[in-house]
Structure 1
């Protein structure tokens, strides 16, 4: 099993409806490919962790790279994964403006709930916590 972490910038600020659309489509696609992970959005930036079989992760990542809603995509880290950090989330999601999306299973309030962690020092968790903290998601 593999993981991949990337960051990108939104081409323009995303509305709750646009974020909800991303979340809905991602969950459907990820369920088919058995991909789990977490997507954070804040202040016009995304960070996402994908987890799953190597071919499936790469296929999903290629489709993400082709998405015109974001730019300046940077692959932060990737590698082998022994145990999923997000085993029950086809796509966990967090945004600063969470009134609409908080009703969905897998939504997480990183300030209140934290992250599920099999390995507190895993790069995926470090990147997500850092992004959440610097994007005011933890305030």
Structure 2
């Protein structure tokens, strides 16, 4: 099992039908391909974590590079996993109403911007956002 984290410029708004479609269709397709992950949308930025079998994971990453709903895709990091981090989420989703990446980066990383987030910082943030949803502290919609 492997994981990857990328950042891109979102060309859809968090509350838009296009964004909701990304989440719904991705959840169904990820189930079929044995992938799990989590997407955060905030201030024109996507941060996405994906994990699963290497071939399916990298095939998806290749397809995402041609998705017209975002641009300037940058791979923040990737590696091997012993067990999934997001096993409950075929495609988890959050926006700043769950947890703000901008505030997280400012407080946790000495004033770095969301665009400067490292792979580890992105993973910590997404795990925090998913925990808030799992615990019922916040809703993903």
TM-score (norm 1): 0.70
| Shift of residue 16, structure 1, vs aligned partner | 2.8
Which residues of structure 1 form unaligned runs of 5+? 98-108, 112-122, 134-139
Q: Does 1:40 align with 2:35?
A: no
Separation in 2, partners of 1:110, 1:130: 8
RMSD: 2.5
Separation in 2, partners of 1:49, 1:60: 12
Separation in 1, partners of 2:80, 2:44: 29
Q: Given the alignment, which residue of 109, 120, 127 partners 2:122?
A: 127
* Partner of residue 134, structure 2: none
Q: Does 1:88 align with 2:88?
A: yes
Separation in 2, partners of 1:39, 1:77: 15
Report the CA distance shift for 1:12/1:87 in structure 2 as closer, same or farther (over 3 A).
closer
* Partner of residue 2, structure 1: 2
Separation in 2, partners of 1:12, 1:79: 29
Aligned length: 111
Please tell me whether the aligned partners of residues 40 and 95 of structure 1 are also in contact (alpha carbons under 8 angstroms): yes
